[in-house]
Structure 1
Amino acid sequence: MTTITGRGRRPRSTWLRPSRRPAAITGCPPVGVADAMSGMVTLKIGALVPLTPPGWVEAGRHLLAGLDLAVREVNDAGGIGGDPLELVVRDTAADPRRAEAALDEFAGLGVAAVAGEYHSVVARAAATRADALGLPFLCSSAVLDALTERPTDHVARLPPPQSRGWRIYADFLLDAGHRRVAVAAAPSLYWESGTRVLRERLATRGGTVVELDMSALAPAAVCDALAESAATALLLLVGQPEPAVSIVTSVRRDRRLAGTLIGAPAGQPEFAAWENLLGAEGAAIPFLRYLPERLTPLGVRVGAALREGPAGAPSFVAFEGYDTIAVLADVLRAHGADRAGLAEAWPRVAVDGTRGRIRFAREPGISVWQATGTPVQVVDRDPATPDRFRILRTG
């Protein structure tokens, strides 16, 4: 649990995994905890972050770094009307049950709102539970279109929906001449949804998708299946570092597959561990990220501050974390800590974020309040300098 409770104090950090047993809830507790000595009210924000495997740990660390920096800056600037924010962190470890248990715990702790989560299937479980509990939840990083089964005012999201980003990625493949695309896909609602978006978009221009079932294939066996498929591109719809790293190594070293494009729309190559594990073999693998060509002045300053922190050079996920707190702090200042009031505030948000102006609107087919105008890029690591990124397409 990361606790940031006072202006000018350094945060003290301990990590707690949520109990699998939901906390008992006997009514709606007051939002915020008063300090009897000072009269100050601490406003709690629950944070869902994958910090242990099988979660994407590096993504979780970047997300937390952004959340943490923003909370520190809010408190250093006087908090919310003089009251400090406290970030209550729970490790979801890519487990939907952990997220549900954490939401129950947050409700009992009296948090004003919930932030975070990187993994879409986990975020979906969290969003569903937040809706049932009446907890405002601003999803930082998960893109699955259907975060909830029904429309809700309690949940909003910063990144673009998967259907938008993956259509842009499919257009990139088509424009590069790829009409027959293989996907090495693990069983998951997120990967299934992504495959469907790719198949439908490719089909509009005569393209096809060949599915390679990673529940039945070892990484080395992917090469044989890929060679037989006659696909010119292979997309990694699997976890990282494994089996993604082993698949890349096998394909790169198979002479039959020379010239085959490897892609990773979910963003595995974004993180430093990818370069550390694969070196030059991990370059020239296009992926999606949510950054503009130029950060705002705020983004430049935040990026410099994040670079000095323990997570190192920031990914787009770190900026998502920072922007999440920027939005929640603005809403808390304008509308107070009443949960119902917060849930009604999304359409009135207008916040300067690290990547541009942040607003929310309703979009067809999306059940939550959706941030509008979020930038989308297709990028890869430069083979000549793998620690640098090349922008291949913007959307």
Structure 2
Amino acid sequence: MSTTPPPPVRIGALAPLTRPGWTEAGRHLLAGLELAAGEANAGGGIDGRPLELVVRDTAADPHRAEAAVDDLAGLGVAALAGEYHSVAARAAAARADALGLPFLCSSAVLDALTERPTDRVARLAPAQSHGWRVYADFLLAAGHGRVAVAAEPSVYWAAGTRILRDRLAPRGGTVTELDARALPPAALCDALAAGGETALLLLTGFPDPAVPIVRAVRRDPRLADVLVGAPAGQPEFPAWESLLGEDGAAIPFLRYLPVHPTPLGARVESALRARLGATPSFVAFEGYDTITVLTETLRAHGTDHAAIADSWPRVTVEGTRGAIRFTRPTDTPVQQWAWPPVQVTDRDPAAPARFRTLHTAPTEHPGR
């Protein structure tokens, strides 16, 4: 006698897999999501039902993200997971909230992930205001109070500039904005040399215009002592090293990993490396942790949308980077892991494939 297999529990997975999205980040995110889903199924799935990822490409486009949420809701997914780009994640979160669909956002950091407080949306990545304040503190400790930002127009970059200015100004620091879209790299170097800032931060897309700007600054003798930084994490990915080589070293960026991996983190790192054929980024770990949290939540509370959303404050899951618990920090509209480990890292000039930890965030109370 044949038996009908139980229907899968579906999770909708959002990731930027085509341009203009950052496809390398999307590939790492998806690798983490898929690895954790495979391990969940090897461990019995969800009460004997297989866990199935239904992947949709957002291409970093808010409209595509909204359409993907509608599509996935129509397919009866239990929850949404993923997304890297803040503008796409914000659109997905708003649509998921309107539909009553729980969404665990993996990597997008924009503080205002939703316009109003909601329990349907939770997030693993630290809020931008938390991470970028850590970066500003690193700049001040390193003696860089006069900072220039080469920025492109976007809500995310504008928010980052505001966070940096608010953190630096009370301590006597300044932030000068240079339009990375209007100024070609040579003109940007001229403006930086004339202004006298000691640090230039890349608030730009990758590879363009970030790569041409780095090359121009590195080759300008007037700027030999200027620190180049990339708080959004562009140097984390292998493509940065392959495109820039030694020019891409000594460029500090934010990295959401502990200085020393946990035992689970070390095991997952090895599995992700084999899957990706490269060093996994922190984004891959965020993807893995997302499905790990959702697996335990679904096993404990079932697939009802409201039950999942209500469970966020009671979730305690051991992730690759520590114990994951959700709270509602001040001025954050979603349930938030407060906080993942945050460090400022760069690539070692002596060996650009190797990372150096320059600064770590102190333990901070979630409400601050």
TM-score by length of 1: 0.90
CA distance in structure 1 between the aligned counterparts of 2:175 and 2:232, rounded to whole angstroms: 17
**Maintained 8 Å contact 1:62/1:311:** no
**In 1, Cα distance between the equivalents of 2:186 and 2:299?**
54
Equivalences, count: 360
3-state DSSP class of the match of 2:275?
A: coil
Match of 2:32 among 52, 66, 83: 66
Q: Which residue of 1 aligns with 2:289?
A: 323
1:319 is paired with a residue whose SS is helix
CA RMSD across the alignment: 1.0
Per-residue CA deviations over 1:267-295 (Å, capped at 9, x if unaligned) read: 00000000000000000000001001122
1:163 aligns with 2:133: no
Instruction: State whether structure 2 residue 94 is matched by structure 1 residue 128.
Output: yes
The alignment partner of 1:51 has SS state of: coil
Mapped pair 1:282 → 2:245: no
Find the partner of 2:308 among 342, 345, 358: 342
Distance in 1, matches of 2:203 and 2:159, equals 11
Give SS of 2:332's match: coil
Q: Is the 8 A contact 1:332 1:342 kept in 2?
A: yes
Secondary structure of 2:346's counterpart equals strand
Question: 1:373 is matched by which residue type in structure 2?
Answer: W
Q: Structure 1 residue 223 and structure 2 residue 165: aligned?
A: no
Partners of 2:28 and 2:276 within 8 A in 1: no
Match of 2:118 among 152, 155, 160: 152
> Is this contact kept in 2: 1:94–1:119, CA < 8 A?
yes
Runs (4+) off by over 2 Å: none
Following the alignment from structure 2 to structure 1, what is the Cα–Cα distance between the partners of residues 185 and 307?
Answer: 50
Aligned to 2:52: 86
Contact 1:100–1:125 (Cα < 8 Å) also in 2: yes
Letter in 2 for 1:345: S
Q: Which residues in structure 2 correspond to 1:160-239 (within 5 Å)?
A: 160-239=126-205
SS in 1 for 2:53: strand
8 Å contact kept, 1:269–1:275: yes
Identify, as 1 or 2, the structure richer in helix.
Answer: 2
1:393 positional shift? 0.4
* Percentage of matched positions with identical amino acids: 71
Give the whole-Å Cα distance in 2 for the aligned partners of 1:352 and 1:267. Answer: 25
2:262 corresponds in structure 1 to 296
Structure 2 letter corresponding to 1:361 = T
Instruction: Find the aligned partners of 1:373 and 1:149 in 2 and give their Cα distance.
Output: 21
Deviation at 1:311, TM superposition (A): 4.9
2:69 is aligned with 1:96: no
Give me the whole-angstrom Cα distance separating, in 2, the residues matched to 1:215 and 1:271.
Answer: 23
TM-score, scaled to structure 2? 0.96
Provide structure 1 residue ranges, at least 5 long, that are not aligned to the other structure.
1-35
